[in-house]
């Protein structure tokens, strides 16, 4: 043991040496030193995965803080959130950041998903990364759906009712699914308990496993380069991950943090009115924006298409759409063979257009069919 | 003599260090304040503890208390039983009151009358007063909506 | 053939249409010569009664044409059916109608068969009314039972189509009392219907669906209809507005009004066009009712001004508190506790307005100062909420500032590293 460290840099070096004497971190060191990120005209999209991760970490931190005061029962949930918003010091900040960050995270997640899709990053050898990513997407939506109910206000209560009703449209197992989701026939305190358990235990556990896999694969395989740039033949410039790319990542993350703060201060998340199951559903119930396109589609479908219920057709349609995306690495033969794949480009463009148009319609179309 | 580049580098490092340092403090402060429990202790819930002891309330009397965002009326019948109802009149939402001389609940706005079961017995009110559950825990009276 | 289904389909469609047209109606009895002949005649003078009878409550109870008009319904020969020997009375004379209805409706034992608690004194009451008195004097135009209850299609009281359903009463009475041509020669004004329809009571009845709101029969009586006397109007209003009546009776106005022969309540609030009262009715302004009697040098004038000032003060305080709390709430602050407390101040304002009838400035002031306290407290809470909001905004800008500084540092660092890579 030498003299005491006199500066931050010396302190870091000392700790580093102490750890190195005990654990061989050569693998990680090499990764950090040698990881590079390709630089080309589509590099901007590389930032969105990390941004989503950053926002997820914010969710975990604010979520844990909220856990300390939130009470998951029908009698107390609303009042406990009200307590957090009004009595707990900076509770308003933690809660508003949690709600806004959830939405921001799903937005960046969707950008990440579609940027990966259009740059065909799912092709060999990254099929597993894509699969794990799609699973994470499903988990994120479930996080959003389950978390939405927790304040137990009117909007949340009825949105959950409608949402779990839609799940019931799945043929054969629909009713059972709805009962399992709701913890009974109707949306009650049992539903709240269930959603709470899913939101703070089940999903975090699943995420830990699948996210670790996803991140490990990304580190091991490096960043994918879009096919047309590869086909170019020219050597692709790169930048080191540490510190170049990481510093730029940080700029993005800090900007997101500033945006979240501004949103929390100027557009605090609404509390609403405590849910009353006996009151009639208010006009204008709608889900969060990331479910809006599905909600609006169901509104437009006729009540019967041939012998089948319109809603069933809709739900099956969503299922098939999800399955298509899930299996795209295996369906996109042309890309797998190294050729251009305009069909899949147009399918992707179609899906994005559909989502955007239906979401916009959900907000501007005159209410109700 | 330091070169311009190295002094600039030093400044940038200092800026970064200070920035991150300030951010750390600025973010840690709210989190620590958050963790310290507020004075009011717990959220007031759909169970409301009224601010009176059972002994304080005389028989054949009633008082208004706050239940959530609406007024409620706590009544001790002539026989000594504690009952509670919403104090919002079912006619036009005025606040009702207890009438000692008639031993009933009365709405001053349009002379609506309810009996001590909350039933609307005369005047304009179309429906009875919604009853609440009353629990007495030692020296505390807790009123709840009761599901 | 392929279109053979058209015939039964048309039949079904037509039957549905016919049945729908008679929705709510009962089936007219068969084998009753009165009904059969009168319907068959198709004459606008005698067929409508038979057709309309399908909707009548009497048919529902098994009471038919012959039970009021006499005659023999089993006889399909006109002479036999409508024979005096069988008790046929034809169309009863105007004067005879109450007695005809009363034959059953004043008979306690008979009515008990249908409804044990129904009243049987309607005819008796009727003859105490202005209508009854005029009828006895030979008046042919005055209202009798059928003028208000209709005839041949009389509906139950609870039936929303009945002429006596609360919402429709004003139009039933108004058929005569709102018709200046019909009422020429009588001593009543015919603007009553028009006036009543301007009133807050009519609004409550029709727009708010409050069936307990007063209409003609509530203040004037059903069968014993007559205007309440000058000294007893206040009692009528006081049936619902009991607190106000009590306050008025304890005020100096009560005795003064009796002395001057003025009707309580009505003098200031009118009788039919009772409008929503406002604070401008109190005080010394041009819309105030106080100055109708009190001249500027009188004590009453002073008191009126004081009362008005108290009300204005509290109203202003409540408005200011509501405004600031709304602003805070709109900006996202949680102020539901303060809003609840503000209700107390609004309640005090309501009570103060009622206390105006006591004509005692001190009593009004007691309530308005109590309410003013509450309003001021909640105003302070609203101001505190806005302060907290400002604190949050300041905190935000400092955070943004710190983050920006850090981002600038990062950007400079990035540039520096890029430069070094370029050189190296």
Closest chain A residue by Cα to residue B30: A90
> pLDDT value at position C419?
87
Integer Cα distance of A227 and A123 in angstroms: 10
A145 within 8 A of A104, measured Cβ to Cβ: no
CA proximity to A106, closest of A331, A291, A330: A291
Please give the residue of chain A at the shortest CA–CA distance from C393: A265
**For A88, which of B34, B44, B47 is closest by C-beta distance?**
B34
Nearest to C100 by CA among C78, C137, C134, C126: C126
* Omega cis (within 30) before A243: yes
Instruction: Give the model's pLDDT for residue C23.
Output: 47
Contact B108 C354 (CB under 8 A): yes
Give yes or no for residue C32 having a pLDDT over 50: yes
How many angstroms separate the Cα of A363 from the Cα of each of A293, A305, A360, A367, C242? 10, 26, 5, 9, 51
Q: Is B30 helix (H, G, I), strand (E, B) or coil?
A: helix
Report whether pLDDT(A369) > 50: no
Q: Do C399 and A261 make contact, defined as CB atoms within 8 angstroms? A: yes
Is the CB of B123 less than 8 angstroms away from the CB of C240? yes
For chain B, the structural domain boundaries read 1-36, 47-144
Contacts of C31 (CB under 8 A, 6+ apart): C74
Optimal mutation site among C208, C236, C388, C412, interface B, most CBs of chain B within 10 A = C412
Record the tokens describing residue C251, joined without a space.
Answer: 């005020």
- Contact check, Cβ <8 Å, A250/C410: yes
Task: Of C298, C301, C300, give the one whose Cα is nearest residue C285.
Answer: C301
User: Which residues from chain C sit within 8 angstroms of residue A271, using beta carbons?
Assistant: 334
A262 CB neighbours in chain C (<8 A) are 396, 400
Q: Which residue in chain B has the smallest CA separation from C241?
A: B110
Task: Provide DSSP, B106-131.
Answer: EETTTTEEE-TTS-EEESS--SPPPE
Domain count, chain A: 1
8 Å CB contact of B44 and A91: no
pLDDT (tens digit, 9 = 90+) per residue, A101-111?
999 999 999 99
Q: What average pLDDT does this structure show over C311-325?
A: 96
Domain assignment present for residue A343? The answer is no
The 10s digit of each residue's pLDDT in A259-306 is 999 999 888 888 888 888 777 888 778 888 999 999 999 888 888 888
Interchain pair C413, B124: CB under 8 A: no
Closest-approach residue (CA) in chain B for A81: B43
Spatial separation of the C-alpha atoms in residues B103 and A277, rounded to whole Å: 35
Per-residue 3-state assignment (H helix, E strand, C coil) for chain C: CHHHHHHHHHHHHHHHHHHHHCCCCCCCCCCCHHHHHHHHHCCCCCHHHHHHHHHCHHHHCCCCHHHHHCCCCCCCCHHHHCCHHHCCCCCCCHHHHHHHHHHHHCCHHHHHCCCCCCCCCHHHHHCCCHHHHHHHCCCCCCCCHHHHHCCCCCCCCCCCCCCCCHHHHHHHHHHHHCCCCCCCCCCCCCCHHHHHCCCHHHHHHHCCCCCCCCCHHHHHCCCCCCCCCCCCHHHHHHCCCHHHHHHHHCCHHHHHHHHHCCCCCHHHHCCCCCCCCCHHHCCCCCCCCHHHCCCCCCHHHHHHHHHHHHHHHHHHHHHHHHHHHHHHHHCCCCCHHHHHHHHHHHHHHHHHHHHHHHCCHHHHHHHHHHHHHHHHHHHHHHHHHHHHHHHHHHHHHHHHHHHHHHHHHHHHHHHHHHHHHHHC
Facing residue for A251 by CB, picked from C393, C399, C411: C411
pLDDT digits (tens, 9 = 90+) for A117-172: 999 999 989 999 999 999 999 999 999 999 999 999 998 999 999 889 888 888 88
Q: Tell me, yes or no, if C400 comes closer than 8 A to chain B by beta carbon.
A: no
Name the interface residues of A facing B (CB cutoff 8 Å).
8, 65, 68, 71, 74-76, 79-80, 82-83, 87-91, 93-94, 254, 274
Question: How much is the pLDDT for A307?
Answer: 85
CA distance A63 to A94: 8
The pair of three-digit structure tokens given for residue A110, joined into one six-digit string: 């969707």
For residues C37 and A230, what is the distance between their CA atoms, to the nearest angstrom? 100
Chain B positions touching chain C (beta carbons under 8 Å): 8-9, 12-13, 15-16, 18-20, 22-23, 26, 66, 69-71, 91-92, 94-95, 108-111, 123-124, 126
Cα-to-chain-centroid distance, residue C262: 27
Q: Which of C334, C403, C414 sits opposite A258 (nearest CB)?
A: C403
Residue A106 domain flag: yes
Determine which helix (DSSP H) or strand (DSSP E) holds B66, and give its type and residue range.
strand B61-67
Provide, as residue numbers in chain C, all residues whose Cβ is less than 8 Å from the Cβ of B26. 398-399, 402
Residue B31 forms contact with A (CB below 8 Å): yes
The predicted pLDDT at position B70 comes to 81
What torsion, rounded to 10 degrees, do the Cα atoms C108, C112, C114, C119 define?
50
Q: Which of A184, A151, A190, A165 is nearest to A275 (CA)?
A: A151
Whether residues A244 and C413 touch (CB distance < 8 A) is answered with no
> Residue A232 belongs to a domain with what CATH number?
1.20.810.10
Lowest mean pLDDT among A40-49, A69-78, A156-165, C11-20: C11-20
Which of A289, A307, A295 is CA-nearest to residue A148?
A289
- Decide if B104 contacts B116 (C-beta within 8 A): yes
Nearest CA in chain B to C396: B26
Tell if the CB–CB gap between B43 and A93 is shorter than 8 Å. Answer: no
> What ipTM score was computed for the predicted complex, to two decimals?
0.80
Give the tens place of pLDDT for each residue, A192-214.
999 999 999 999 999 999 999 99
> Binning pLDDT at 50, 70 and 90, where does residue C330 land?
confident
Cβ atoms A144, A290 nearer than 8 A:
yes
Tell me how far CA of residue C129 lies from CA of C144, C169, C187, in angstroms. 11, 17, 15
Chain B touched by C19 (CB under 8 Å): no
Averaged pLDDT, A181-202: 93
Angle, helices A127-149/A189-197, rounded to nearest 10 degrees: 150
**Residues 97-136, chain B, touching A (beta carbon < 8 A):** none
Q: Domain residues of chain C, as ranges?
A: 228-276, 299-393
Element (H, E) at B83: strand B82-86
How many cross-chain Cβ pairs, B to C, lie less than 8 Å apart? 68
CB contact under 8 A, B34 and A91: yes
**Against a cut of 0.90, is the pTM above it?**
no
Task: Give the integer Cα–Cα distance in Å for A60 and A57.
Answer: 5
| CB-CB neighbors (< 8 A) of A247 in chain C | 410, 413-414, 417
Which residue is closest to B111 within chain C, CA to CA?
Answer: C240
What string of H, E and C letters represents the secondary structure of chain A?
CCCCCCCHHHHHHHHHHHHHCCCCCHHHHHHHHHCEEECCCCHHHHHHHHHHHHHHHHHHHHHHHHHCCCCCCCCCHHHHHHHHHHCCCCHHHHHHHHHHHHHHHHHHHHHHHHHHHHCCCCCCCCHHHHHHHHHHHHHHHHHHHHHHHCCCEHHHHHHHHHHHHHHCCCCCCHHHHHHHHHCCCCCCHHHHHHHHHHHHHHHHHHHHHHHHHHHHHHHHHCCCCCHHHHHHCCCCCEEEHHHHHHHHHHHHHHHHHHHHHHHHHHCCCCCCCECCCCCCCCCCCCCCHHHHHHHHHHHHCCCEECCEEHHHHHHHHHHHHHHHHHHHHHHCHHHHCCCCCHHHHHHHHHHHHHHHHHHHHHHHCCCCC
Tell me how far apart the terminal alpha carbons of chain A are, to the nearest angstrom. Answer: 77
- Rounded to the nearest 10 degrees, the angle between the axes of helix A289-300 and helix A154-167 is 60
**Nearest by CB to B20, which of C211, C340, C406?**
C406
- In 3D space, the residue among A41, A213, A241 whose CA is nearest the CA of residue A136 turns out to be A213
Residue of B nearest to A273 (CA): B69
**Nearest-CB residue to B12 (from C241, C407, C409):** C409
Nearest residue on chain B to C420, alpha-carbon basis:
B5
Q: Are A162 and A154 in contact (CB under 8 A)?
A: no
Mean pLDDT of all residues belonging to chain A = 90
pLDDT above 60: residue C16: no
Asked if the Cβ–Cβ distance from A244 to C418 is below 8 Å, we say yes
* Range B47-144 has CATH code 1.20.1260.10: no
Q: Is any Cβ of chain A less than 8 angstroms from the Cβ of B42?
A: yes
Interface touch A65/B68, C-beta < 8 Å: no
Residues 228-267 of A with CB under 8 A from C: 243-244, 247-248, 250-251, 254-255, 257-258, 261-262, 264-267
Residues of A in contact with C336 (CB under 8 A): 82
* A91 Cα to chain B: minimum distance (Å): 6
Between CA B72 and CA B88 the distance in angstroms is: 7
CA A17 to chain B, closest CA, distance in angstroms equals 23
Chain A partners of C403 at a C-beta cutoff of 8 Å?
A: 254-255, 257-258, 261
- Whether B36 has its CB under 8 Å from any CB of chain A: the answer is yes
> Which parts of chain B register pLDDT below 50?
147
Task: Locate the chain C residue with the closest alpha carbon to A87.
Answer: C334
Q: Which of chain C's residues have a Cβ under 8 Å away from the Cβ of B6?
A: none
pLDDT of residue B61: 93
Q: Which residues of B fall within a CB distance of 8 Å from C243?
A: 108-109, 111
C347 Cβ under 8 Å from any chain B Cβ:
yes
Q: Which residues contact C26 (CB under 8 A, 6 or more apart)?
A: C54, C55, C59, C60
C399 contacts B26? CB cut-off 8 A: yes
Helix (H) and strand (E) counts for chain B? 1, 10
Backbone angles phi, psi at B86, to 5 degrees: -70, 145
What's the CA gap between A46 and A289, in Å, rounded? Answer: 24
Q: How far apart are CA C240 and CA C226, in angstroms?
A: 19
Which pair of tokens denotes residue A271? Answer: 């509390």
pLDDT, tens only, C106-145: 999 999 999 999 999 999 999 999 999 999 999 999 999 9
Closest CA to A62 of C202, B127, B35, C244: B35
How far off is chain A from C176, nearest CA to CA, in Å? 44
Break chain B down into helix, strand, coil percent, rounded to 5: 25, 35, 40
List, for residues C256-300, the tens digit of each pLDDT value. 998 998 888 899 999 899 999 999 999 998 889 999 999 999 999
pLDDT digits (tens, 9 = 90+) for A87-103: 899 999 999 999 999 99
Contact of A20 with A63, CB cutoff 8 Å? no
Q: C347 and B23 in contact by Cβ < 8 A?
A: no
């Amino acid at each position: 043991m030498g003299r005491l460290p006199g500066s931050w840099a010396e302190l870091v070096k000392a700790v580093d040496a102490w750890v190195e004497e005990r654990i061989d971190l050569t693998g990680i060191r090499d990764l950090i030193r040698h990881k590079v990120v390709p630089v080309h005209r589509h590099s901007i999209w590389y930032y969105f995965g990390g941004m989503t991760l950053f926002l997820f970490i914010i969710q975990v931190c604010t979520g844990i803080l909220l856990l300390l005061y939130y009470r998951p029962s029908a009698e107390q949930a609303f009042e406990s959130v009200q307590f957090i918003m009004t009595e707990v010091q900076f509770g308003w900040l933690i809660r508003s950041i949690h709600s806004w960050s959830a939405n921001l995270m799903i937005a960046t997640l969707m950008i990440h998903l579609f940027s990966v899709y259009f740059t065909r990053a799912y092709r060999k050898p990254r099929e597993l990364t894509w699969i794990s990513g799609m699973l994470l997407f499903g988990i994120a939506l479930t996080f959003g759906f389950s978390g939405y109910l927790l304040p137990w206000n009117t909007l949340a209560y009825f949105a959950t009712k409608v949402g779990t009703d839609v799940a019931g449209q799945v043929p054969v197992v629909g009713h059972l699914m709805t009962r399992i989701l709701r913890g009974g026939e109707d949306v009650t305190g049992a539903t709240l308990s269930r959603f709470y358990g899913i939101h703070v235990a089940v999903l975090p556990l699943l995420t830990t496993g699948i996210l670790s896999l996803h991140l490990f694969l990304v580190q091991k395989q490096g960043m994918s380069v879009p096919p047309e740039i590869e086909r170019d033949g020219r050597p692709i410039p790169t930048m080191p991950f540490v510190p170049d790319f990481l510093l730029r990542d940080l700029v993005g993350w800090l900007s997101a943090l500033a945006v979240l703060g501004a949103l929390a201060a100027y557009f605090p998340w609404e509390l609403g009115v405590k849910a009353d199951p006996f009151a009639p559903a208010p006009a204008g119930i709608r889900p969060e924006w990331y479910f809006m396109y599905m909600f609006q589609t169901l509104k437009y479908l006729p009540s019967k298409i041939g012998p089948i219920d319109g809603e069933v057709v809709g739900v099956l349609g969503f299922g098939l759409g999800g399955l298509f995306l899930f299996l795209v690495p295996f369906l996109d033969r042309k890309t797998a063979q190294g050729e251009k794949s305009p069909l899949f480009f147009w399918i992707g463009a179609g899906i994005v257009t559909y989502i955007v148009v239906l979401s916009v319609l959900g907000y501007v179309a005159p209410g109700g069919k | 003599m330091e070169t311009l580049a190295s002094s600039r580098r030093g400044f940038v490092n200092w800026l970064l260090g200070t920035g991150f340092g300030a951010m750390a403090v600025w973010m840690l402060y709210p989190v620590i304040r958050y963790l310290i429990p507020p004075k009011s202790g717990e959220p007031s819930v759909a169970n409301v503890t009224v601010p009176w002891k059972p002994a304080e309330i005389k028989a054949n009397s009633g008082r208004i208390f706050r239940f959530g965002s609406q007024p409620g009326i706590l009544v001790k019948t002539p026989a000594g039983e504690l009952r509670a109802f919403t104090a919002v009149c079912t006619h036009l939402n005025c606040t009702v009151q207890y009438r000692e001389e008639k031993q009933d609940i009365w709405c001053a706005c349009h002379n609506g009358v309810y009996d001590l079961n909350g039933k609307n017995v005369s005047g304009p009110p179309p429906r009875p007063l919604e009853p609440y559950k009353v629990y007495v825990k030692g020296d505390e009276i807790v009123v709840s909506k009761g599901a | 053939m392929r279109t053979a289904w058209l015939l039964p389909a048309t039949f079904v469609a037509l039957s549905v249409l016919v049945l729908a047209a008679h929705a709510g109606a009962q089936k007219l009895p068969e084998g009753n010569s009165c009904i059969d002949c009168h319907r068959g005649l198709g004459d606008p003078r005698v067929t409508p009664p038979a057709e309309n009878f399908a909707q009548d409550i009497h048919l529902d109870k098994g009471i038919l044409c012959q039970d009021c008009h006499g005659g023999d319904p089993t006889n399909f020969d006109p002479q036999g059916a409508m024979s005096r020997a069988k008790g046929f009375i034809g169309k009863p004379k105007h004067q005879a109608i109450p007695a005809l209805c009363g034959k059953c409706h004043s008979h306690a034992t008979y009515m008990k068969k249908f409804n044990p608690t129904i009243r049987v004194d309607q005819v008796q009451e009727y003859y105490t009314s202005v209508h009854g008195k005029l009828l006895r004097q030979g008046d042919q135009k005055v209202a009798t039972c059928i003028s208000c209850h209709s005839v041949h299609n009389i509906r139950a009281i609870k039936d929303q189509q009945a002429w006596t359903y609360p919402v429709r009463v004003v139009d039933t009475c108004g058929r005569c009392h709102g018709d200046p041509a019909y009422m020429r020669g009588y001593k009543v004004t015919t603007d009553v219907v028009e006036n009543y329809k301007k009133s807050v009571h009519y609004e409550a009845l029709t727009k708010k669906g409050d069936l307990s709101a007063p209409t003609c029969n509530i203040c004037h009586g059903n069968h014993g209809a007559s205007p309440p006397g000058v000294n007893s109007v206040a009692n009528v209003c006081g049936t619902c507005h009991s607190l106000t009546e009590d306050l008025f009776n304890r005020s100096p106005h009560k005795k003064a009004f009796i002395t001057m022969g003025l009707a309580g309540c009505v003098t200031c609030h009118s009788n039919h066009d009772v409008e929503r009262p406002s604070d401008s009715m109190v005080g010394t302004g041009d819309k105030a009712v106080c100055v109708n009697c009190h001249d500027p040098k009188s004590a009453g004038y002073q008191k009126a001004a004081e009362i008005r000032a108290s009300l204005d003060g509290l109203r202003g305080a409540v408005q200011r508190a509501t405004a600031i709390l709304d602003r805070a709430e709109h900006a996202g602050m949680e102020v539901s506790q303060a809003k609840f407390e503000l209700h107390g101040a609004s309640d005090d304002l309501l009570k103060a307005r009622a206390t105006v009838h006591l004509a005692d400035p001190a009593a009004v002031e007691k309530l308005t100062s109590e309410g003013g306290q509450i309003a001021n407290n909640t105003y302070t809470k609203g101001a505190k909420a806005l302060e907290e909001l400002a604190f949050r905004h300041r905190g935000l800008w400092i955070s943004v500032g710190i983050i920006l500084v850090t981002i600038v540092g990062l950007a400079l660092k990035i540039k520096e590293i890029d430069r070094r890579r370029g050189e190296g």
